[in-house]
Amino acid sequence: MSSVIVEIRAGVGGEEAALFARDLFRMYTKYAASQKWKMVVLHLQPTELGGIKEVIFELKNGDVYSKMKYEAGVHRVQRIPKTEKSGRIHTSTATVAVLPKPEKTQIKINPNEIKFDFYKASGHGGQYVNKRMTAVRVTHLPTGIVVTCQTERSLQQNKESALAILEAKLLEKKELENLEKLTKERRQQIGWAKRAEKIRTYNFPQDRVTDHRIKKNFYDIEEIIEGNLEPIITLLQKNFSS
């Protein structure tokens, strides 16, 4: 797969979780640059304090899926938030989904099974930042999957981005359904790829990143957050290659 759609969502922890989601986004942005991948942001929902509630972006032009698939799951951070006056360490989470972008023949969407809603794009505080209807919400009626997109100034571009995200989510749903049909043993072997599982902890006070799948610690957390993921991903590839 030379193209994937990555979705980062703030999890448990309120604004601190949103700030952690922003850190993960920056980490992947810098890692993608080091790999010479092209990144296109499809959807971004920031918070008023500079965090990210949700961001969806496409990575392409390289061996993207073979590396990024190991990032899918729950990421946990342990650190003292800037707003914490007592110096207490907080634990927050963010989820990462890595969706292979379908080839044209893999997913076909019936136009009669989708509903489009168009509205004005809004800013951080909910105020409208565009006088025209450029934001798009697409609903897949059979599954109830809803995708929104407002990062582009063009209605057509947002529509195309929303459909690309929807196709990736439908492919993921299809693959998860196929996974359930496999034997229990096989599901256990590839269970680490599910987004619901805690895969990694970023412990700032101890300057340590722990990948729970391979029970391995990595140090110099600031360097890792700045995009130095290659040592972790290389070891994951070595342990999980078939």
Q: In terms of domains, do 93 and 149 share one? A: no
138-170: burial string, b at 16+ Cβ within 10 Å, e else: bbbeeeebebbbbbbeebeebbebbbbbbbbbb
- Band (3; pLDDT cuts 50, 70, 90): confident
Nearest to 55 by CA among 113, 15, 84, 95: 95
pLDDT of residue 103: 74
Higher pLDDT, 227 or 189: 227
* pLDDT value at 228 more than 80: yes
Write down the pLDDT at residue 32: 96
Residues 78 and 11 in one domain: yes
Segment of 21-25, 46-50, 80-84 carrying the highest mean pLDDT: 21-25
Strand order in the sheet with 128-140: 114-122, 128-140, 145-149
The pTM of the full predicted model, rounded to 2 decimals, is 0.77
- Residue 76 sits in a domain whose CATH number is 3.30.70.1660
Tell me whether residue 125 is in a domain.
Answer: yes
The average confidence (pLDDT) of the chain is 85
Q: Is residue 187 part of a domain?
A: no
The length of the chain is 242
The CATH number that applies at residue 167 is 3.30.160.20
Residue 80: inside a domain: yes
Nearest to 222 by CA among 200, 197, 204, 195: 204
b vs e for 201-239, b when ≥16 Cβ sit within 10 Å of the residue's Cβ?
bbbeeeebbbbebeeeebeebeebbebbbeebbebbeee
Question: pLDDT digit string (tens) for 184-213?
Answer: 544 444 444 445 578 999 999 999 999 999
Specify if 186 maps to a domain: no
Q: Please tell me the predicted confidence (pLDDT) of residue 27.
A: 98
DSSP 200: E
Residue range(s) defining the domain that contains residue 130: 111-180
Nearest of 92, 78, 74, 75 to residue 16 by alpha carbon: 92
* Phi–psi pair at 136, nearest 5 degrees: -130, 135
Residues above pLDDT 70, as percent of the chain: 86
CB atoms within 10 A of CB 15: 18
How many domains in the chain? 2
Mean pLDDT, residues 96-120 taken together: 85
Residue 235: inside a domain, yes or no? Answer: yes
Handedness of CA 79, 83, 88, 90 (dihedral sign): negative
